[in-house]
Amino acid sequence: MKKVKVSVATSISQYPAEVVSAGITITLGAAKVVLTSAPYVAVFENVEVGVYEITAVAKDADGNVLGFPVYGSITIDPEVVNIDIPASLIVEVI
């Protein structure tokens, strides 16, 4: 299993003064982290081998999406080991 770190870069957008931010939600597959202040960095532990969609979205206190979600993906490959196997022979008559 692997550890995956997701960092979200943000830009400032203006909304009416009554809009209250609920932070940024980052999802990796079924796992979810809500971050309410910068830096927006989530670490997902024990991520199994597979392909995962990643989403980051800002929401207000009522659950409305602010701006546009950002999407990405990651592939976690299985662990590998290096093993020596025969590649060729050198035969000499001595």
Regarding pTM above 0.75, the answer is yes
- Return d(Cα 2, Cα 76) in angstroms, integer: 8
What does the pLDDT read at residue 27? 97
Q: How many residues does the chain have?
A: 94
pLDDT surpassing 90 at residue 16: yes
pLDDT-wise least confident of 22-31, 63-72, 84-93: 84-93
Read off the pLDDT of residues 48-84 as tens digits, 9 standing for 90 and up. 999 999 999 999 999 999 999 999 999 999 988 888 8
Could you state, in order of their start, the residue ranges of all structural domains in the chain? 2-76
For the domain bounded by 2-76, which CATH number is listed? Answer: 2.60.40.10
